[in-house]
Amino acid sequence: MENSGEKAGNSVMLKICAFIVDKRNLFFLIYAILCIFSAVSRNWVEVENELASYLPADCETRLGLDLMEEQFTTYGSVKVMVANVSYDQALLIQKEVEKIEGVFSVELDDSKDHYNNGSALFSITFDYDEKDELCLSCLEEVKTYFDDYDAYISTTLGDIQSELINDEMNVISIIVVFVVVGVLLLTSQAYAEVPVLLLTFGSAALVQMGTNFLFGKISFVSDSVTIVLQLALSVDYAVILLNRFKEERKEMPPREACIVALSKAIPEISGSSLTTMGGLIAMMFMQYKMGADLGIVLIKAIVLSLISVFLLMPGIIMVFSKLMEKTVHKNFVPDIPFVGKFAYKTRYIVAPLFVIIIIIASRISARTPYVFGYSQITPPITNEVQKAQNMQDDNFASDNMVALVIPCGDYEKEKMLIDDLLINDSITSITGLANTDALGGYTLTDKLTPRQFSELLNIDYELAELVYTAYAVDDEDYGKVVNGLSNYRVPLIDMFMFVYQEVEEGYVTLDDDKMEKLENANKMMNFAKKQLQGEEYSRMLLYLSLPQESEETFHFIKTIHSIAEKYYPADKIFVVGESVSQYDLQKCFSRDNMVTGIVSILAVLVVLLFTFKSAGMPVLLIAVIQGSIWINFSVPAVTNDHLFFLGYLIVSSIQMGANIDYAIVIASRYTELRGTMGKRDAIINTMNLSFPTIITSGTMLAVAGTLIGKMTSDCAIYGIGKCLGRGTIISIFITMFVLPQILLVGDKVIELTAFVMNMPLQTKQIAGTMRIDGMVRGKINGTITGIVHGVVKGEVSAFIDNGNVEILDEDNIVDEEDSPQGDVVFNEEATENGEEI
């Protein structure tokens, strides 16, 4: 039966493809403009380096960080360790650094916290907020000063870490390009195919980088690994179109071959990309938003790769078509019949053995030692920032600091809370307004009477009374003025700042010595207050003797909350720090792990159901890849190798979405060949035909992941690369040496669970001249079952599966070499895929 809707759809597709091929110069121009724009706009991309920035908005770390940014000033600071220096020399250095403009203080003493093993540790604080650009200028001056010393500098200012990671990824990208060229040279059939593929991908990669600014800000992980992963994940699409062109070129001129190849490749490539995007979509459901960040950036990369293949590559193929024919070389990828023969002989051994292995692997992988910070991971290389930090950690104790944010206004309550917290051995010290030393043995928040204040500053008591009276009036506490001021107590920090204000406004006059003393005190108190007290909240800095990440540390965070809740409402208490951030990440992980696993499987399952029209086949393929994932993450469990949690969430999604393509290639070939031959021959031919595709794509992804894992200093990127490289190698091995056996054993299941059962077909006779492409079951002047590509003159009574028939006019049949470069004519009476004729 002819389907006019399908015929019209096919005609439209061919017209679109003809337009793309014929208007290739237009697309060359568009891509040239896009590439030039992208080369500029790639510098507009903002990069977020903080892992905590991607925590859920309602978690404690995120709420606390937002509150601290609103309420407090965090001054820029830097720690400098100078090795091989005496303590007296260190004191001289301290005085000189204090003279640098913009330096507020330089902390140094003879304790082991600042001088140890012949090395001095200077804690330098600047006059400016850490977000102020002036901090970076001060930092450069400090670095310049220490150029002549054996110095090791660590700071959170600037974007040095990100720059170092970018440099590493640039090196990795260059190496990956060489690897890709090498793989393509071995797996291609003509040397000129390599520039076709590289130009296509290079354009897509550049546009990808140049359009990231549309997201405003992306994570350092997305910024670092996307280009390498884009190459590894989407190179298949260009290879598929190129192979289609070569197939059609055997029977058609270049232009017509390119049009037909593109029309056939678009649905095939689109279907292939859906499984990859299905896995990436799962990352967008993570609570931890870095997954969504990387997921959406990679999805954009794949979409841009698709567009580049569909719009740009046909034109590039036309430009290089003659050169490809001239540079044909022998096939370097051998047939592997032994793999298919081995699969057939071991089908009843390997398949059940694999089931046992993945059950065991699922149990083992559940014990993988995930971590949520960098403290327990050693990356393969160490950058300059890490070397400096490691040197400082080796010579000086590094306390784990967390900030406790509480409602402000009651200094006495804050003092009681500090005393209560200090009872715990896990807290080594606390910095807060209520326990910060001021003058004469008082703390900043001690309340002084007029008499005590006059003695402290060595001023007349009458002047002190006058000042206290003015303070009471300003505070609208008129009762104190009426009833007497002798017992009126005011916190030292508040009185000092009030006196300074009165002096500034000219209401109080002090001699030069007292004025210098007041100015110094005001500067120190103002500095402390901006850091530790806001309009509504106070901040305390708690230094813990516990490691950044441990169950004991996470439990103690709860203890801090319970102690603070004795004095303040629970919803007004926030604990913020690296340990709390990692605790929040741990809580996100259990939920994200389950969600990404379910969503990625469901997304891929839906695509496979429509691809194979069988309920059994998708289950078998997903079981193979999920088994690969479990085996992959059993390795760190067995070796007790700490794995950053993000590596699992991201790699498991990519492995499910991308590596399953290898399984699809084998399963599709086997299903196709199984219709014309027995199991043994079908699996042998399947492995021969699938091997070039799998080895091309798999090698690229495996090498890309392995290089990322071996050549980065960032622990998150290291975990992603290592697991991706290892996971891809495992997936390739299992799809090559386990999946064939599973397909052979599950052959009957696949057939029984097919949506469309083989039913008797009604056929009708067609006579004349026609072109047939596809699986034929029927009669062509005799019974035939097989794949046909050719022109038939005579009578046909058959069912054409996965192909089409085109009724040709005798006038339109010309020799391929004599075919004019005009429009390709497809007769309107052509039938479509799976059409009865």
Beta-bridge partner residues of 766: 796
- Token output for 755: 């949506």
pLDDT of residue 773: 61
Q: Looking at the predicted structure, is the pLDDT value of residue 88 above 90?
A: yes
If you average pLDDT over residues 12-19, what whole number do you get? 88
Q: What is the pLDDT of residues 26-63, one digit of tens each?
A: 999 999 999 999 999 988 888 888 878 888 888 899 99
Q: What is the pLDDT of residues 614-671, one digit of tens each?
A: 888 888 888 898 999 999 999 999 999 999 988 888 888 888 877 787 888 888 888 8
Residue that wins the pLDDT comparison between 51 and 316: 316
Whether residue 739 contacts residue 344, with contact meaning beta carbons closer than 8 Å, is answered with: no
Q: Looking at the predicted structure, is the pLDDT value of residue 299 above 70?
A: yes
Q: What is the pLDDT of residues 704-745, one digit of tens each?
A: 889 888 988 888 889 989 999 999 999 999 999 999 999 999
Average per-residue pLDDT for the chain: 83
Q: What is the pLDDT of residues 341-353, one digit of tens each?
A: 999 999 999 999 9
- Compute the chain's Rg from CA coordinates: 36
Instruction: For the full predicted model, state whether its pTM sits above 0.85.
Output: no
Distance from C-alpha of 498 to C-alpha of 450, rounded to nearest angstrom: 14
pLDDT of residue 563: 95
Q: What is the pLDDT of residues 467-489, one digit of tens each?
A: 888 888 877 766 665 566 778 88
At residue 513 the predicted structure's pLDDT band, cuts being 50, 70 and 90, is: confident
If you average pLDDT over residues 537-559, what whole number do you get? 93
Q: Looking at the predicted structure, is the pLDDT value of residue 83 above 70?
A: yes
Q: What is the pLDDT of residues 200-233, one digit of tens each?
A: 988 998 999 999 999 888 988 888 888 877 877 7
pLDDT of residue 153: 92
At residue 13 the predicted structure's pLDDT band, cuts being 50, 70 and 90, is: confident
Q: What is the pLDDT of residues 341-399, one digit of tens each?
A: 999 999 999 999 999 999 999 999 999 999 998 888 888 988 888 888 889 988 988 77
If you average pLDDT over residues 76-103, what whole number do you get? 93
pLDDT of residue 346: 93
Is residue 767 classed as helix, strand or coil in its secondary structure?
Answer: strand
CB within 8 Å of 810: residues ≥ 6 apart: 769
pLDDT of residue 837: 38
Whether residue 722 contacts residue 651, with contact meaning beta carbons closer than 8 Å, is answered with: no
Residue that wins the pLDDT comparison between 774 and 432: 432
pLDDT of residue 511: 74
pLDDT of residue 818: 41
Q: Looking at the predicted structure, is the pLDDT value of residue 425 above 80?
A: yes
> In the 8-state DSSP scheme, what is residue 655?
I
At residue 600 the predicted structure's pLDDT band, cuts being 50, 70 and 90, is: confident
> In the 8-state DSSP scheme, what is residue 448?
E
Whether residue 60 contacts residue 575, with contact meaning beta carbons closer than 8 Å, is answered with: yes
CA 42 to centroid of chain Cα atoms: 18
pLDDT of residue 824: 35
Q: What is the pLDDT of residues 445-456, one digit of tens each?
A: 888 888 888 888
Distance from C-alpha of 475 to C-alpha of 630, rounded to nearest angstrom: 67
User: How many other C-beta atoms can be found within 10 angstroms of the C-beta atom of residue 330?
Assistant: 5
Is residue 316 classed as helix, strand or coil in its secondary structure?
Answer: helix
Residue that wins the pLDDT comparison between 136 and 243: 136
pLDDT of residue 569: 94
Distance from C-alpha of 672 to C-alpha of 667, rounded to nearest angstrom: 9
- Token output for 267: 């649905």
pLDDT of residue 283: 84
Q: How far apart are the first and last CA of the chain?
A: 7
User: How many other C-beta atoms can be found within 10 angstroms of the C-beta atom of residue 190?
Assistant: 17
Instruction: List strand residue ranges (DSSP E) for 513-646, in order.
Output: 537-544, 574-577, 643-644
